[in-house]
Amino acid sequence: MIPLTSIFPLPLSSLFIIFLLCKRKDLHKLAGAKWAVVTGATDGIRRAFVYELAKMACLIQNNFSIILISRSQWKLDNVMSELESEFPEHRQVMNTNHSSMNSIRMRITLFIAEDYARSALKTVGNVNQTAGCLAHHVQIGVLVNNVGMTMPCPEILHKVRGDKDELARISTVNTLPMLMLSSAVLEYMALRKKGIIINITTGFALSDAPLWNVYSASKNYALHLSRTLRREYSSYGITIQTLTPMRVFTKSIVPKVDKPSFFVPSAENYARSALKTVGNVNETAGYCAHQLQIVINRFLPSCLYRRIVNRSTRKIRKSIRKDLEANGKT
């Protein structure tokens, strides 16, 4: 059989294989444990991941438990209520008769993470305590690292809105929780020889992105850390994946768009597509149209690619400034 890589250029063959030919892996077998942890789980893509993991729980004959980590109690309460409403059958207590496995229970545990961005020492202590507590008390099979913080507005470094602490907050939130939680769960995943870590970053992490300085650099951290960990744990049977999504239709998308499209999928469609790639590829955009954009960008002359990125960034900055002016926050 002739390999596809001999017919198409490698990026194109990879795109074809991953999104059209590869079947979804059994995540529960890869995980080796019943608990899934999703950080920043109350908004956008992260919230969609929670729902997709909850739906997967309906399709297997086993318990499936999800821990939601966020810095907002009321948002966690809202997600909890919505999940209980959409999956009411999972509120039932499973029959102690193990031969009756039709009634599956999913426990949604709310866990409030400490504010990651107060002071450096306190942040390290809080996140380390949170990570250690989680890993010690429950067997975590899946960790979705997606807590993040973006810039108030794209700008050159010394003109970033807010005080200098804003730079520290962005850098800390985008790197420290991922590092601490990964370190905590890997200790137990290594013992089981199974586990899944999904680090969600952004397309801006793939190359230098002027005016996105601290955001782009801190998001690139996930790529480098994931690549290093994959080599360190290559003999432990642990799946470590990095997702680099482009634009996704969420409440916070800038500039605003009216509805999802081929290149701007809904958060739900993105999460569904991304979970199908787990175990099939180490680094991916997670969505076919996004991966196509990345492939095209790689073939573009660097000068043309930078012009496109700069133009897109200027549009985003103009939109944000307009919103700030409308809210009297200029």
Which residues are registered as beta bridge partners of 242? 199, 283
Is 215 among the catalytic positions? yes
Quick one: which of 145, 314, 306 has its CA closest to 218?
A: 145
Q: Which two tokens stand for residue 314?
A: 């200027």
Contact 158, 108 (CB under 8 A): no
Q: How far apart are CA 267 and CA 262, in angstroms?
A: 13
Q: Which two tokens stand for residue 27?
A: 């995540």
Quick one: which of 278, 253, 275, 280 has its CA closest to 264?
A: 253
Quick one: which of 188, 196, 193 has its CA closest to 277?
A: 196
DSSP string computed for 69-100: EES-HHHHHHHHHHHHHH-GGGGSPPPS-TT-
Amino acid of residue 327:
N
DSSP character at residue 224: H
Of 51, 116, 188, 215, the catalytic one is 215
Q: Which residues are catalytic?
A: 215
